[in-house]
A and B are shown apart, each in its own frame.
Chain A
Amino acid sequence: NAGVTQTPKFQVLKTGQSMTLQCAQDMNHEYMSWYRQDPGMGLRLIHYSVGAGITDQGEVPNGYNVSRSTTEDFPLRLLSAAPSQTSVYFCASKTGNTFNEQFFGPGTRLTVL
């Protein structure tokens, strides 16, 4: 199993550009999430999904869109990038049972100029 994979590893955008961060998992996990990690602030939940076709907002959803057309994939879209979105983005997945071990991807480091 590859686990949770994310592409790209690094990205530089100009303000106003759009892009999609890709996330895929091969563990047949129901739950998938996107977090952003900023210095001194831990991980903050952006959006999450409890299954194909179902998504919901997390703590910091503004400026981001998600969709979940398959169990495996959960892309995160930035429609019009802003410098405040400079961060490291992590995708995670977990099974639907009660215990909440999340499996994390390696992260995407995004810089918005």
Chain B
Amino acid sequence: QQQVKQSPQSLIVQKGGIPIINCAYENTAFDYFPWYQQFPGKGPALLIAIRPDVSEKKEGRFTISFNKSAKQFSLHIMDSQPGDSATYFCAASKSTGRRALTFGSGTRLQVQP
């Protein structure tokens, strides 16, 4: 059972554009939602994370929007650059027990010069 659904699968934007990646979760027990960036052949790197008690969080050019009632959250990348071209994964976990992450399927972002 896929508990975190991510879309789109791939995304192409022009430099300076604002790509938006969406995720939806099913398990209402999830209360920690991070986003990771992964370059080919590398491990994922944490970008930003949010908890359900806030609707938006911004760190640098990265913003998470969170809609608890809809069980959805999204990543916005402001002023995107070619160096942002990577695969982005959303994830979710519970803050109790093993705290294992459930990952979305990933979005391959290409930012064209």
| Pair from one complex | no
B-side residues, CB < 8 A to A, are none
